[in-house]
Amino acid sequence: MIFLSRIQSLVRKEFQTLLSTKSGKMLLIMPVILQTALFPFAATLEVKNASLAVYNEDSGRPSVEMMQRIAASGAFTRIIPLWSAAAVEDAIGTREALLAVHIPADFSRKITAGETSPVQVILDGRRSNSAQIAFSYLQTVLDGFLKDRAAAAGRAVPSEIVVRNWFVPNLEYTHFILPSLVAIITTIGSLIVTALSVAREREQGTFEQLLVSPLSPEMIMIGKAVPAVAVGFFQATLILIAAVFIYDVPFRGSLVLLYGGMFFYALALCGVGLFISSVSKTQQQAFLGAFVFMVPAILLSGYTAPVENMPLWLQHLTWVNPVRHFVEIVKGVFLKDASFGRVLTLVWPLVVIGSVNLTLAALMFRRKAA
């Protein structure tokens, strides 16, 4: 009982330091609101508002029909007509257009005669990913155009391909981003809180006082971990609510599984945060240490770029990255109604990461206490 009441008073003290100032409270909420408001619109690999430059040397009907088809498709917001090859060079060079299409003078003649006409498409390689996606939009529009021409001429296609997307039928990017954001913003919040809490005490000299108190190093660790877990749960809940009620992302899975996974994730993060804390002398070191861990962990979580595109050895290495597992848990439960078994396979790495880091941190604190 004494054990519990001692921890309780330490936890209360931690919450007081965290929430005592107005700026402290603001810093727990403002970044979450700001990021939830901006990220879904900014952090997208979707290609929207792309502009297409067109240098059409042909005036025949087929080329005009094709251009009308492209304009009507809505794949490109702006179509820039150009009159020379030099203008094409300029439009791509100055980033005015992402793609440029060059239709040769004999285009209409050739395709009316049933021959194949080449159409050159120039992609801005400085933005090769977006350009390739925009190119595939163009290709889809042209496929439709050719299919209709074939149908009008009475030629049937022998086979066709029908694509359906499960979970998010229209491939809305916000449905992908918001669940990932639950994981990422929580990481920033709770990691910095744990990493800095011990370092601040050490810099201000109050850590020695804690060590000479009747609290054991493990109790101090629990006292530091509880507020961080609470901050994580609080911020995650905020984003979850925003995702479901503001962004209309359907929540398909079980809340119990999500919060269960979150608990183990928060523990793993606390382990990392306390470990960083235990080896740093100042707040600056703790903050930069947390930063050096956090940035790679978030970048390699599969949010920015899929894990399966990484070289194999790096894919294996990401196993020790807690963010990667939690991003999978949130996305799985949120969008795909992941089963208990699936969540379990993602939680046990978190348990391993958490235990290793907590043990290391405890050893470091014991050494300092001795």
Give me the residue label for tokens 């978030």: 298
Contact flags string 226-265 toward other proteins, x per CB under 8 A = ----------------------------------------
* Closest distance to other proteins from the beta carbon of 220 (Å): 20
User: With binding defined as CB under 8 A, does residue 125 bind other proteins?
Assistant: yes
Q: Give, in order, the Cα–Cα distances in Å from 76 to each of 47, 97, 138, 282, 311.
A: 9, 10, 9, 52, 34
User: With binding defined as CB under 8 A, does residue 316 bind other proteins?
Assistant: no
Contact 271, 355 (CB under 8 A): yes
Contact flags string 330-369 toward other proteins, x per CB under 8 A = -xx--xxxxx--x---------------------------
CA 173 to chain centre: 10
Position among 74, 166, 205, 214 found at the interface with other proteins (CB under 8 A): 166
User: With binding defined as CB under 8 A, does residue 314 bind other proteins?
Assistant: yes
Backbone φ and ψ for 265, nearest 5 degrees, come out as -65, -45
Contact 131, 124 (CB under 8 A): yes
Distance CA 293, CA 321 (A): 10
Position among 87, 142, 219, 369 found at the interface with other proteins (CB under 8 A): 142
Q: Give, in order, the Cα–Cα distances in Å from 20 to each of 17, 25, 122, 203.
A: 5, 8, 58, 19
| C-alpha count within 13 angstroms, C-beta hemisphere, residue 25 | 5
User: With binding defined as CB under 8 A, does residue 49 bind other proteins?
Assistant: yes
Is 71 or 369 the residue whose CB approaches other proteins more closely?
71
Is 72 or 115 the residue whose CB approaches other proteins more closely?
115
Is 92 or 362 the residue whose CB approaches other proteins more closely?
92
Position among 69, 291, 352, 368 found at the interface with other proteins (CB under 8 A): 291
User: With binding defined as CB under 8 A, does residue 158 bind other proteins?
Assistant: yes
Q: Give, in order, the Cα–Cα distances in Å from 33 to each of 37, 127, 239.
A: 6, 30, 8
H or E stretch covering 102: strand 99-103
* Closest distance to other proteins from the beta carbon of 278 (Å): 15
* Closest distance to other proteins from the beta carbon of 2 (Å): 32
Contact 63, 111 (CB under 8 A): no
CB under 8 A: which stretch of 7-15, 47-55, 233-241, 350-358 binds other proteins? 47-55
Q: Give, in order, the Cα–Cα distances in Å from 86 to each of 82, 93, 125.
A: 9, 11, 18
User: With binding defined as CB under 8 A, does residue 328 bind other proteins?
Assistant: yes
Distance CA 203, CA 207 (A): 8
Tell me which DSSP letter residue 50 carries.
Answer: -
* Closest distance to other proteins from the beta carbon of 64 (Å): 14
User: With binding defined as CB under 8 A, does residue 320 bind other proteins?
Assistant: no
Position among 20, 206, 284, 355 found at the interface with other proteins (CB under 8 A): 284
Contact flags string 72-111 toward other proteins, x per CB under 8 A = --------------------xxxx--x------------x
User: With binding defined as CB under 8 A, does residue 64 bind other proteins?
Assistant: no
Number of residues lying near other proteins (CB under 8 A)? 109
Q: Which residues are within 8 A (CB) of 172 and not within 5 positions of it... i.e. 6 or more apart?
A: none
